[in-house]
Amino acid sequence: MTQKIMLLLLLTITHLSLNGAAMPKKQNFPKSIQPGGDLARRIELTVRRLQSHPFDIDLIMQDVARIPEKKRRFEEYEGDISGRVLGAWSYLARLRGERPTKLDSIAEKILTYQNPDGYFGQNQQSIGWDFWGRQNFGHGRLLVGLIQNYWRTHDPRYLISAEKLGDYFVNTIPKWTTGHPNNPYTKTGALNWQNGIEVRQHFVKTHQTSVLEGLMMLYEASGQKRYLKAGEKVAELIPEYRQYHSHSFLNSLVGLAMLYRHTGESRYFDRLLKEYWQNILPHSRQPDGAVCEFYPADQRTEGCSIVDWIRLNLQLWQLTGKPVYLDEAEKSWLNGLNFHQTANGAFGHAVLSPAGYEAPYSEAWWCCLMHGLYAYTEILNYSLVSEADKLWINFFFPFESEIRLQNNIVKVQMKTSYPENGDIRLSLKMDKLVQATIFLRLPHWLNKWEILINDVAQNVQLVAGYLPITRLWRSDDVINFKFNMSLRIEDQQGNNLLTQRHLGDYFHPGYFFHGPLLLGADLKWNHKFPERILFDSKADYHEKTDVQSDSNPFSIPAAHYKIPAIYQNELNSVTLVPISEQTGYDVWTDEWRKFIRNGEEPIERVPVQMKQRVNIK
């Protein structure tokens, strides 16, 4: 991101913080969408895992059934796994028009475990603050799942169940700050951050406040003001950025964005901007868009936190219309999230090194797998959005979709190999003429492009990060959006080093990108990590990879580069490839690798170096 763009963003942020974001009108999301390409392969990989070992009904249901002889890890987070499975899979099935038998069985069975007071499983409120926080965290995921399944099936039983759970929250939220002698809200004086017990009690706050998202979805589904009021009470309890579980903290901010959308209260929006721009982005987001498991810094990442970072960016785009949030969501999706997906369809925890990732990796069957699927479905849902006579095209991947535009249902088809190349073909089908403006997102790293409509070149000017095209659209109109996918090197702040006036004869820390794809030097393509890279900006470093010999279904050969490099003072070369290809370095196994019902045992992946020392000529 250039210094000019950063200055523009700071001015925009200042303006928005003083005046608030414009409240959006009624927005339309896709009625249906069928993805293709890399995204479809990744979705199918995770859905396949949900229908395979270890995800039998008993394992999924244990956090609401609590059967002693079937004990498993994290079952005290009641509704967490069952709710995540229900929510992510229902969301995806609704957009794809599917009715999976196993999903229906899970949904039916969950209803049988609800207590008269609305909660599921055991009454952990009586056990203590920590365990009640775990229960509420899981119940927040389950509330989301019940509502997503209601939106999928339109079966009123799921809305009734969600309202019973919502009423449980309405009745118990006031007790969060008054019940239990060890609850941190009653603590006076400074917190001892070196005391593990105190820190644990403190960060359970965000376990509690993460229910805000589910309450806002329940308000949308039911229209009942009591859930909005309960959400406002929760919002006041979201703690300041500090030493917290990043997943539950980010999830709380996602709920806060939803609350702002429904209330227009500027203090919620100001809080979002403060946390995003002053705390999270400069201190806790990795160069590939990944997120550490604990704020402000941690050696281990978490797939769930990457998902919530993506979702927070999507929410902020919905509130502001600023494509900078879509750029950030795309970076996290195509790099951080895709890197974290394994060949088994899982997501989980990677271990950071000073320049990249180490080999140990934990496939988190208990949370990240389902939340990763939720992120991919969110990308589908936000890929095209309409409002009145406007249609925004936000993400580029092959798809066929239907969306409402000017009281018409328009069929939109995209054909592309992006991010391998920059050739995008968008075709429209509709029953009658539609006067509308189509906005094509221009990624921030692009400065040259070409647009043709029905093979006729168009002069389209960039406006606030989008290329707007206004006309009377006809069925079978075709937009061709073309641009070159060039290699660039960014510094830690996102500035393109190749556009700097003078860099001197030095070795600069930098990150190589092919379009939106972060490239790394991994130990599959290289015998060891390079110490320094020698880059000539006029040279063509494309590596002519033998596609026939590369069986990786997630390989992107056009993004492979071979560049001169120095190893122990000897000149050689380094091969850089997208870090997202790591998913295909291993193969699917019908049995979950190293599965432990009550624990966690890491697998080994290929170490990768993302941060390079590079001399640029």
Digit-coded pLDDT (tens) for 229-242 = 999 999 999 999 98
The three-point CA angle 516-520-525 to 5° equals 130
Rounded to an integer, what distance in angstroms lies between the CA atom of residue 320 and that of residue 94?
A: 27
Nearest-angstrom CA–CA distance, 381 and 402: 11
Mean pLDDT by 10 residues, the chain (617 residues): 42 41 71 98 98 97 98 98 98 98 98 98 92 96 98 98 98 90 76 78 90 98 98 96 92 98 97 97 94 93 98 98 98 98 97 97 97 98 97 98 96 98 98 97 95 98 97 98 95 91 88 98 97 95 67 95 96 98 96 93 97 95
CA-nearest of 203, 281, 195, 286 to 242 is 203
Paired sense of beta strands 434-441 and 390-393, if any: parallel
Task: Taking the CA atoms of 79, 81, 87 and 93 in sequence, report the sign of the dihedral they define.
Answer: negative
Q: What pLDDT does residue 374 have?
A: 98
CA–CA gap between residue 278 and residue 249 (Å, rounded): 15
Neighbours of 395 (CB within 10 A): 19
Report residue 319: phi and psi, to 5°.
Answer: -80, -35
DSSP letters, 553-565, are TT--GGG-EEEEE
pLDDT of residue 551: 87
What are the beta bridge partners of residue 351? Answer: 300
Q: Contact 257/316 with Cβ under 8 angstroms?
A: yes
Residue 8: predicted pLDDT: 40
pTM over 0.85: yes
- Pick the closest to residue 140 from 222, 231, 54, 69 (CA basis): 231
How far apart are alpha carbons 144 and 419 in whole angstroms? 32
What is the pLDDT, as a whole number, of residue 195? 82
Mean pLDDT, the chain, integer: 93
What b/e sequence results for 343-365 when a residue is b if at least 16 CB atoms lie within 10 Å of its CB, and e otherwise? Answer: bbbbbbbbbbbebbbeeebbbbb
What are the residue ranges spanned by the domains of the chain?
A: 36-182+194-235, 390-443+449-482
Say what the pLDDT of residue 152 is. 98
CATH code: domain 390-443+449-482 is 2.60.40.1180
